């Protein structure tokens, strides 16, 4: 097994600052749009941030170069975390930061759920839950046919795992030995109607993925060292084994804003003015 | 264009053979199936190019999504299963993963309509054209014989974007002459006439031609139009014909809700409001039986729908 590189203290500090800045942007976009999904965006943001900043082989200018084909792909299956994705893409200069405030407005490229021919950097549309892994598998099969070494990262919500298609796709990835697929589960344990375990239990989740033929890693999805380490390990596994890898990232819905944390009520409602101000104050206090 | 060779052949076999030819010509073509490769005849492609064939198991939703991912990455992805599963079971996947991003996925669905036969209602897609026609970006084509099937498959392979192609299970009499048949995405007048228009596609083209012969013996001149492309509908050919004949009858192995009959009504009610009679399955499920018996039972044979044609001509006379 290749030795796994670690983030430096300076890199962790920088990610912490950046994360709080992007969380604020995310909330501002949702507040401005008067609609969106604060909880699931805040739980997923750290995972996307580390992926784009430190892991994926990607570049905002590649679309005009022959190297574009070699980029690693990111598929956001839980499309309601679009605000977090757009913030990360703007941070990586796929498009200007000014555009973020057009989120969910008529005529925007930043559709409520990622649309097609949408914001630069968005690979495929999503929104109807459960469909991303199948599409990621299709991309992975195509990469293999073309002998392209790029990886496909795919983020799923945990509630989304109640969709049957996810398990059809989980079987397909194992059957076709898609070791170029790395799935990330945003395991915030909440969905619209309450706890995942009350609505329809997912546990034992790691065992389920193992039984479907996947290599499983489990981490704290807000610990940058753990996130980075898991991505590196997943890449090593995918280079050495023939099985797909899933990272179960234990996260907190509404992470970073005290009154949103662990609260299913913040799945899909925008902030009132005073709530928004309080949330911004909290996030700035952490920078 | 029409043949008198009296041959009967399989549309599915024509599909499988054409896929193999295309696979040789274009290395970007991939094929997916959902455990029906023998029935849909994609098995021919599997045997020729196993590395570009993916059996997705009995999981149509996953198959459609995987086809979309392959198409997103630059492949031309054909996906086949029975029409009832391709259109119904995986409708949301076709909508969100294929039609919305306008991807190069060709759904070639076999065993459409009541002609599935003995398997009964669960397997008889009578709503598929309606379901697929309502999706933006989706184009819908149903060939009538093996000659048209070969040409349609080649056409969808070279034309960007999503297509739904429906093939029938039974072998069908050859209508078109393979030597000079050239598919164009339009409706075509097969028999010119002046008293009424009969518009149809798929298995009922041959019945409509028979009906026109029978009407001729009664002194009625029917214009028969083959409409393989239900969407986008070739409105001008239909309107031109109805301007001449004054009435139109649609005949299809599909529900009268949402198929060609509906499409023609939508067009004529806005642009040329004249009497229409829709022949098809009337808002009910199918059932088991031999396909020829089922065609009779649901009024899809010339002997049955000739009465509709005569009634329509009477309506026109009364209006004059």
Q: pLDDT tens-digit profile of A173-227?
A: 999 999 999 999 999 999 999 999 999 999 999 999 999 999 999 999 999 999 9
Residues B68 and B162 in one domain: yes
| B159 is a domain residue | yes
The mean pLDDT value for B14-32 works out to 98
In this predicted structure, what is the pLDDT of residue A245?
98
In this predicted structure, what is the pLDDT of residue A3?
65
Residues B128 and B161 in one domain: yes
Nearest CB among B68, B92, B95 relative to A138 is that of B68
| B280 is a domain residue | yes
Q: Inter-chain contact A124–B100, Cβ cutoff 8 Å?
A: no
Quick check: B196 and B312 in contact, CB under 8 A?
yes
Quickly list H helices, chain A.
9-33, 38-50, 82-91, 132-145, 164-175, 196-200, 205-211, 224-240, 273-285
Integer Rg of chain B from CA: 19
The answer, yes or no, to whether residue B19 has pLDDT greater than 80, is yes
In this predicted structure, what is the pLDDT of residue A153?
98
The mean pLDDT value of chain A amounts to 95
In this predicted structure, what is the pLDDT of residue A65?
74
Residues B152 and B208 in one domain: no
The answer, yes or no, to whether residue A2 has pLDDT greater than 60, is no
The answer, yes or no, to whether residue A1 has pLDDT greater than 70, is no
In this predicted structure, what is the pLDDT of residue A287?
65
In angstroms, the CA B73 to CA B70 distance is 5
Is-catalytic flag, B314?
A: no
* Helix orientation angle between A38-50 and A224-240, rounded to the nearest 10 degrees: 60
The mean pLDDT value of chain B amounts to 97
The answer, yes or no, to whether residue A61 has pLDDT greater than 80, is no
In this predicted structure, what is the pLDDT of residue A189?
98
ipTM of predicted complex: 0.96
Quick check: B258 and B134 in contact, CB under 8 A?
yes
Q: Inter-chain contact B59–A168, Cβ cutoff 8 Å?
A: yes
3-state secondary structure of B112: strand
Residues B37 and B105 in one domain: yes
Quick check: A202 and A258 in contact, CB under 8 A?
no
> Which one of B138, B173, B208 terminates a domain?
B173
Confidence class of residue A116 from pLDDT cuts 50, 70 and 90?
A: confident
Least Cα distance to A188 among A224, A161, A165 occurs for: A161
Range of the domain at B34: 9-173
Residues B236 and B117 in one domain: no
Residues B163 and B199 in one domain: no
Residues B219 and B150 in one domain: no
3-state secondary structure of A260: coil
Least Cα distance to B315 among B194, B193, B200, B195 occurs for: B195
In this predicted structure, what is the pLDDT of residue B144?
98
Residues B109 and B229 in one domain: no
If contacts are CB pairs under 8 Å, which of residues 131-170 in chain A contact chain B? 131, 133-143, 145-146, 164-165, 168-169
pLDDT tens, position by position, A159-174: 999 999 999 999 999 9
Within 8 A of A165 by CB-CB distance, chain B residues are 59, 61-62, 65, 93
Show the tokens assigned to A189: 């344990």
Question: Who contacts B219 (Cβ-Cβ below 8 Å, separation ≥6)?
Answer: none
Domain count, chain B: 2
Residue B173 burial (10 A CB sphere; 0-12, 13-18, 19+)? middle
The mean pLDDT value for A38-43 works out to 96
3-state secondary structure of A108: coil
Least Cα distance to A49 among A80, A16, A73, A78 occurs for: A16
In angstroms, the CA B46 to CA B59 distance is 18
Confidence class of residue B161 from pLDDT cuts 50, 70 and 90?
A: very high
At B97, which CATH number? 3.40.50.970
Residues B137 and B228 in one domain: no
> Which one of B118, B143, B173 terminates a domain?
B173
> Which one of B127, B150, B173 terminates a domain?
B173
Cis peptide before A204 (omega within 30 of 0): yes
Angstrom CA distances, B23 to B27, B156, B183, B320, stand at 6, 14, 20, 56
Confidence class of residue A22 from pLDDT cuts 50, 70 and 90?
A: very high
In chain B, pLDDT over 70 holds for what percent of residues?
A: 100
> Virtual CA dihedral for B261, B263, B269, B272, nearest 10 degrees?
-90
At B261, which CATH number? 3.40.50.920
The mean pLDDT value for B263-277 works out to 97
Per the listing, tokens 């029975």 go with B82
| B2 is a domain residue | no
| B180 is a domain residue | no
Within 8 A of A135 by CB-CB distance, chain B residues are 65-66, 68-69, 72, 97
Per the listing, tokens 């907190």 go with A252
Q: Inter-chain contact A135–B65, Cβ cutoff 8 Å?
A: yes
| B183 is a domain residue | no
| B306 is a domain residue | yes
| B109 is a domain residue | yes
Residue B315 burial (10 A CB sphere; 0-12, 13-18, 19+)? middle
Question: Who contacts A228 (Cβ-Cβ below 8 Å, separation ≥6)?
Answer: A6, A7, A50, A54, A55
Structure letter (DSSP) for residue B82: E
Sheet with strand B196-200: strands edge to edge: B188-191, B222-226, B196-200, B248-255, B276-281
The answer, yes or no, to whether residue B57 has pLDDT greater than 80, is yes
Closest-CA residue of chain A to B72: A139
In angstroms, the CA A38 to CA A23 distance is 9
Residues B113 and B205 in one domain: no
| B311 is a domain residue | yes
pLDDT tens, position by position, B200-242: 999 999 999 999 999 999 999 999 999 999 999 999 999 999 9
CA of A111, closest CA in chain B: separation in Å? 13
Quickly list H helices, chain B.
11-25, 37-40, 43-48, 60-72, 83-84, 91-93, 128-133, 146-158, 204-217, 235-245, 260-271, 291-297, 302-319
Residues B65 and B29 in one domain: yes
Residues B217 and B89 in one domain: no
């Amino acid at each position: 097994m290749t030795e796994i590189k670690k983030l430096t203290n300076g890199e962790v500090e920088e990610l912490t600052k950046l994360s709080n800045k992007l969380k604020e942007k995310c909330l501002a976009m949702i507040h401005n749009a008067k609609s969106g999904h604060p909880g699931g965006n805040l739980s997923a943001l750290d995972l996307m941030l580390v992926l784009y900043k430190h892991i994926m082989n990607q570049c905002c200018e590649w679309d005009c170069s022959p190297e574009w084909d070699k980029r690693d792909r990111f598929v956001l299956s839980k499309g309601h975390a679009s605000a977090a994705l757009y913030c990360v893409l703007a941070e990586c200069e796929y498009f200007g930061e000014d555009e973020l405030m057009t989120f969910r407005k008529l005529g925007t490229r930043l559709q409520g759920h990622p649309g097609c021919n949408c914001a630069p950097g968005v690979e495929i549309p999503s929104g109807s839950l459960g469909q991303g892994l199948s599409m990621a598998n299709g991309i992975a099969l195509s990469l293999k046919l073309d002998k392209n070494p790029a990886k496909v990262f795919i983020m799923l919500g945990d509630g989304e795992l109640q969709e049957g298609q996810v398990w059809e796709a989980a079987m397909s990835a194992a059957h076709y030995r898609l070791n170029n697929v790395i799935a990330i589960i945003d395991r915030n344990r909440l969905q619209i109607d309450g706890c995942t375990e009350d609505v329809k239990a997912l546990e034992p989740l790691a065992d389920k993925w193992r039984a479907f033929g996947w290599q499983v890693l489990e981490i704290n999805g807000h610990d940058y060292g753990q996130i980075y380490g898991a991505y590196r390990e997943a890449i090593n596994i995918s280079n050495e084994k023939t099985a797909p890898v899933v990272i179960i990232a234990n996260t907190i819905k509404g992470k970073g804003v005290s009154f949103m944390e662990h609260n299913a009520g913040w799945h899909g409602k925008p902030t009132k003015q005073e709530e928004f101000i309080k949330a911004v104050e909290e996030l700035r206090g952490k920078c | 264009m029409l043949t008198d060779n009296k041959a009967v052949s399989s549309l599915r076999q024509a599909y499988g053979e054409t896929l193999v030819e295309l696979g040789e010509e274009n290395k970007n073509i991939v094929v997916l199936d959902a455990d029906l490769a023998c029935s849909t005849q994609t098995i021919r492609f599997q045997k020729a190019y196993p590395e570009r064939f993916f059996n997705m198991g009995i999981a149509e939703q996953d198959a459609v999504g995987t086809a979309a991912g392959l198409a997103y990455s630059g492949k031309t992805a054909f996906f086949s299963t029975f029409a009832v599963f391709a259109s119904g079971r995986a409708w949301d996947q076709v909508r969100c993963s294929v039609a919305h991003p306008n991807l190069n996925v060709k759904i070639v669905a076999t065993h459409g309509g009541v002609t599935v036969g003995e398997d009964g209602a669960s397997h008889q897609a009578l709503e598929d054209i309606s379901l697929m026609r309502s999706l933006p970006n989706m184009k819908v084509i149903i060939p009538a014989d093996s000659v048209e099937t070969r040409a349609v498959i080649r056409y969808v392979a070279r034309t960007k974007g999503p297509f739904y192609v429906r093939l029938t299970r039974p072998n069908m009499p050859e209508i078109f002459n393979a030597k000079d048949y050239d598919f164009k995405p339009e409706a075509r007048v097969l028999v010119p006439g002046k008293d009424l228009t009969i518009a149809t596609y798929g298995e009922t083209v041959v019945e409509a031609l028979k009906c026109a012969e029978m009407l001729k013996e009664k002194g009625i001149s029917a214009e028969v139009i083959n409409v393989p492309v239900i969407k986008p509908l070739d409105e001008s050919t239909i309107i031109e014909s109805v301007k001449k004949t004054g009435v139109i009858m649609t005949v299809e192995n599909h529900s009268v809700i949402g198929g060609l009959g509906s499409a023609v009504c939508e067009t004529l009610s806005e642009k040329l409001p004249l009497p229409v009679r829709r022949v098809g399955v009337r808002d009910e499920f199918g059932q088991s039986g031999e396909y020829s018996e089922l065609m009779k039972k649901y009024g899809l044979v010339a002997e049955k729908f000739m009465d509709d044609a005569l009634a329509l001509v009477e309506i026109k006379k009364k209006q004059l």
